Amino acid sequence: MLTPPTLTIASWNINSVRRRLDQIERLANETGVDVICLQETKASEPDFPAAEIAAFGYPHQAVAGFGGYNGVAILSRWPLGQIERHGHCEREDARHISAVITINDSEPLTIHSVYVPAGGDIPDAAVNPKFAHKLRFIDAIADYFAGGFGFRDNVVVAGDLNVAPLPSDVWNHAKLARIVTHTPIEIAALERFKRSLHFIDALREVVPEDDPVFTWWSYRAADWKAANKGRRLDHIWVSTPLKDKIGGVEVLSDVRNWAPPSDHVPVVLKLDMIREQLET
């Protein structure tokens, strides 16, 4: 098995894998992406459409299901090993799964698909248990990475992290600073998560921090594109050893028009796996 010059990884909150099965096939056909990390699959493991997805070119799958909500998965054209389903905050609610991909004799790459809780509507942990759980979850997953990996490990975190950290990650910073997903306490929690393994925000390595980028648009807008009241809730982070291998990041905004639409769109990372060999 030859090492490809690039490895492409997509992250997508698909909002029901069975309802949007045709869209996974379309994404595969139009992009040829190597790995797809899904969130909010809304399917138990027995109900996950594994055979259909294998026919799209992804026979290697890591799946954590939880009935009709939550759910994460990693779909791959390349073999997956060391598949682990992770629970946080004493809950096994299918929000975090990981797997290791080893291509040829390259160093192993651990890929995580993560779905952070939304947190409800009130940004006050004292009165909103959902918001309190969101903060606990982010702290717990930060502890997991801080204790389970070394800074030389090749790690990718892809998922719906349900936090838009930068002013340019939301359509109106002043208005949304008091709205769940963009509050200072959530941003601080996410920053701690990011520092846990010195993660690099791959998109902001190639897109300036002042440039607005969104990955989510509410269903409430009659014309999401015209209103453009979006937020960047979906992220792909890489550990420090992979920073120099970032070959590009693309937000597939047009997917928001695919029917039936998810309110999220895929983010695609390209890693130049053998850049050093190509440059020598």
Q: Going from the N-terminus, what domains does the chain have, and what CATH number goes with each?
A: 6-279 (3.60.10.10)
Q: Are 223 and 211 in contact (CB under 8 A)?
A: no
Query: Would the pLDDT of 278 be above 80?
Result: no
Query: β-strand 72-76 against 35-39: which pairing, if any?
Result: antiparallel
Query: Would the pLDDT of 277 be above 50?
Result: no
d(CA 36, CA 240): 22
Listed range (76-80, 253-257, 275-279) with the worst mean pLDDT = 275-279
Q: Are 78 and 34 in contact (CB under 8 A)?
A: yes
Q: Residue 224 has what pLDDT?
A: 95
pLDDT above 70 coverage of the chain, percent: 95
d(CA 23, CA 58): 14
